[in-house]
Amino acid sequence: MNLKTIHISNMPVECHILKGRLESEGIECYIFDENLVWVHPFRSVAIGGVKLKVPEDQYDKAKQILQAIQDVNLVDETGSYAMEDAVNGAMEKEDEILHIKSILRHDPELLDQPEKIARKLVTDTELADLIVAEKQFLKLSHKDKTPSIGELIHELTDFNFDILKNLRPNPTEYYLEKEDVENYTNQKKEFGIVSCPHCASKNVRFDDAIDYKWDFPYLFFSLITMVPFPPFRYKYHCFNCGNDFKVKHQQPDHNQNQDK
């Protein structure tokens, strides 16, 4: 079997990451000179670095995958597309799912009237699965963990301890799901829908951030403590481009939420 070098790096870890990506596509991969670089890192350049090699007949496919990685694209059976567009699309869909969960918990009657739920990205099948999950969530949220007097007397005389199942907490997934939707609902109520002014992404969060604008209180504390005092303030942080920014307090756009 003839092998052809497809990637060279001074860091073995980089070759292993690419090897895992190519192997997930069914491409055989082999790493050469890895052990020598681990033992003598400064000799990496002298020996030509760590080589990632693939069979010659799979070289073209592997090269296409690595080129897509370099171009920050995703490749699947439907073709190649920009990773940024895919991530933004996934975020918009997740935002719509959280919005649907939020209105279902505010108005549980909609669980039996799915045709009244407005949506753009969620399919009928996904909505059906979502309603099933929300019905289970509603059942757990109303779970009565307090045994009746009759049940308590029965368990004390029968000793099978089935009553203990009523005292067990809900599954961890229940609390994670509850926290996600509550955080989403609270954020929309308090701040509305905020977009990054730099890249227009809605993947933002309001939290602590370092403000590079110094003022008198921070300089005063720095002089007293003889240590540069980090000027923490609450700001929005964009996870798409890394921008920290402030916006004026705004009311939620209910019409925009309803359109979703």
> Are 230 and 90 within 8 A, CB to CB?
no
Those residues whose C-beta lies under 8 Å from the C-beta of residue 147, and which sit 6 or more positions away, are: 155, 163, 166, 167
Those residues whose C-beta lies under 8 Å from the C-beta of residue 38, and which sit 6 or more positions away, are: 12
Consecutive H or E run containing 206: strand 204-210
Predicted model pTM = 0.51
Q: Where are the domains of the chain?
A: 3-70, 83-190, 192-260
Closest CA to 188 of 105, 95, 88, 104: 95
Beta bridge partners of 75: 80
**Which pLDDT tens digits describe the chain residue by residue (260 residues)?**
799 999 999 999 999 999 999 999 899 999 999 998 888 888 888 889 999 999 999 999 999 889 888 887 776 667 677 877 888 888 889 989 999 999 999 999 999 999 999 999 999 999 999 999 999 998 888 766 566 677 666 666 665 555 555 556 778 888 888 888 888 887 676 555 677 888 877 777 776 655 555 566 666 777 777 766 555 566 778 877 878 887 764 444 434 444 43
CA 189/CA 9 separation, integer angstroms: 49
